[in-house]
Amino acid sequence: MLVVPLTGLVVCLPDGGQPRQLLNSSPSDFNRLVVATDSLDSTKSTGFYGQSPTVNSLLNKPLHQTRSFWPMSFDGPLRAILQCLIAAQWVCAVGSCSIQDWNAYIIVLWVAFSIPVSAYVYSPVYGVRDWMIYGVNISLSSTTATFRSRRSMLSALLYLSPDKYEPSGTRWIDPILAPSEDRSQWEAALKAYMMTGDAGDDVKAMYW
């Protein structure tokens, strides 16, 4: 009964007991698009679009670890102690169940309570959502779209890119779609559509 609260205390000491913060939380007028995909041949991609400091802090930079009362030099010994306490929990659980005393019933009830709560009542997804809303003040909305072709998907991602009008604004597509005459025609038609709102029905039917 003492090992569990001691484990929680040791977990709290290195991290300060506070949720991590963005490394850069300053507002910015510059937006950024980051595309994540399983592979260069994947037909599914995820685009993260928003203010540059926020997107960078969530995806490309480590979060700021808040520390309130413990020096960083003690992290190594604390992690070793934490590993011992976690192992001690397993020893206590297996030992109490093997002798079938009253501790075994408490452990079974606690596990039976923890699993559905962590899976359905307050899952890690809800924890991350609440951290983003209340911890770092980020408003996030998600949209899912199904495209007829991968070229249509790339067109939508390029449309969201803040660098789409730059000379090198389409370079990120090179590993996915090699430069060619057909790609140049597609890019020209897409940029014409983004600037004028029209690129011709035949061109749109061909590319998206």
Domain ranges of the chain: 3-20+65-135, 150-207
Residue corresponding to tokens 């969201």? 160
Q: Backbone phi, then psi, for 64, in 5-degree steps?
A: -75, 120
Round to whole Å and give the CA distance between 64 and 189.
43
pLDDT at residue 26, rounded to an integer? 87
* pLDDT exceeds 80 at position 70: no
Q: What is the CA radius of gyration of the chain?
A: 25
Query: Would you say the C-alpha torsion 190, 195, 197, 202 has a positive or negative sign?
Result: negative
Quick check: 33 and 162 in contact, CB under 8 A?
Answer: yes
**Cα gap 57→53, rounded to integer Å:** 6
pLDDT number for residue 71? 63
The predicted pLDDT at position 60 comes to 87
pLDDT category at 17 given cuts 50, 70, 90 is low
Q: List pLDDT tens digits, range 75-111.
A: 778 888 989 998 998 888 888 778 877 777 887 888 8
- For residue 72, the model assigns a pLDDT of 62
Quote the tokens at residue 115.
């699993």
Q: Can you tell me the distance from the alpha carbon of 109 to that of 97, in angstroms, rounded to the nearest whole number? A: 12
Q: How confident is the model at residue 68 (pLDDT cuts 50, 70, 90)?
A: low
What is the phi/psi pair of residue 63, to 5°? -75, 150
**For residue 67, what pLDDT is reported?**
64
| The pLDDT of residue 145 | 94
b (16+ CB within 10 A) / e for 43-55? eebeeeebbbbbb
DSSP-derived secondary structure letter, 122: S
Cβ-count burial 76-99 (b if 16+ within 10 Å, e if not): eeeeebbeebeeeeeebbeebeee
Least confident residue range of 11-20, 40-49, 66-75, 134-143: 66-75
- Side chain identity at 207, as an amino acid letter? Y
* pLDDT at site 43: 85
Q: Residue 69: what pLDDT?
A: 60
Three-state secondary structure call for residue 131: helix
Residue 169 token pair: 């604004």
Q: Is the pLDDT of residue 73 over 80?
A: no
pLDDT classification of 143: cutoffs 50, 70, 90: very high
The packing angle between helices 102-116 and 75-99, to 10°, is 120
pLDDT tens digits, 160-201 = 999 888 878 888 899 888 899 888 888 888 888 888 887 777
